[in-house]
Amino acid sequence: MWDYTDKVMDHFKNPRNVGEIKDADGTGQVGSLICGDALKLTIKVNKETEVIEDVKFQTFGCASAIASSSILTEMVKGKTLAEALKITNRDIAEALGSLPEEKMHCSVMGMEALDAAIKSYRQGGAPVIFEQEPGTNIVCHCFNVSEQAIIQAIHNNNLKTVEDVTHFTKAGGACGKCKEEIGRILSKVLSCEVPSAPKAEEKKPYSEMTIVEKIKAVEEVLNNDIKPKLNLDGGSVELTDINGNIVTVKLLGMCGGCMNAGATLKGFVEKTLKDKISKDIEVKQA
């Protein structure tokens, strides 16, 4: 029997925010039923402030998995996406009073599901399954754990043994064939041959961007989110100037001479830039 804290048992027996948000802004999934642990996290986000207003989870797993998921939902609700992304698996475990070392991978699963849900929101809401990037060196094929994930776990949690790595990542917890490779990675990291894993870059506020960064950010949204939809009706748009929060654009093609040009400018172009970049942006016609 695992030595669980009272808080772990409380969240296991009375989990908070269980279920699924039907009109979720972001959906993140991690794990699989085949491996024994799976978690689905859905979030509702205020698009102006990027504050997580609601979050729910569905999980298949042990008491630690349920408790970790439950307390994570309490931790992220009311936080901005940037604040939520700073939460580590160690934060989740500490919020529960502690977790058995053999169950620390459950807190990692929550962190990965949150990353996937936020990525889903950033990409328009389509569900995202947490997985390794193409070309990643997979060390543990039983649980799909990459070399980079192992390095990050070692650095973030001060791991010292192969057994520690298994507790935190599940790598080596099935057939065990990868334990020798895990040992080599551990030795390199502890001897400072491998740098710590880079952290996800936080989104820079529009007000703090240089003019070049503002142009790049606006052009990216115009090209990826706005122009494709205007093109469907024979129209387009181009950026002509940026002055502080004022973005000046020129509607082209069918959009330029349309009697609804004003509505397109404010209701679509400006709204999209506000949603994607900053609520302070104001769009004007050249």
Q: Which residues are known to be catalytic?
A: 35, 106
d(CA 216, CA 218) in angstroms, rounded, equals 6
CB-hemisphere CA count at 13 Å for 132?
16
d(CA 23, CA 21) in angstroms, rounded, equals 6
Chain mean position to CA 241: 32
Q: CB neighbours of 6 closer than 8 A, spacing ≥ 6?
A: 97
Q: Beta strands 26-32 and 128-129: pairing type?
A: parallel
Could you identify the residue written with the tokens 């093609």? 253
Structure-block tokens of residue 174: 């099935």
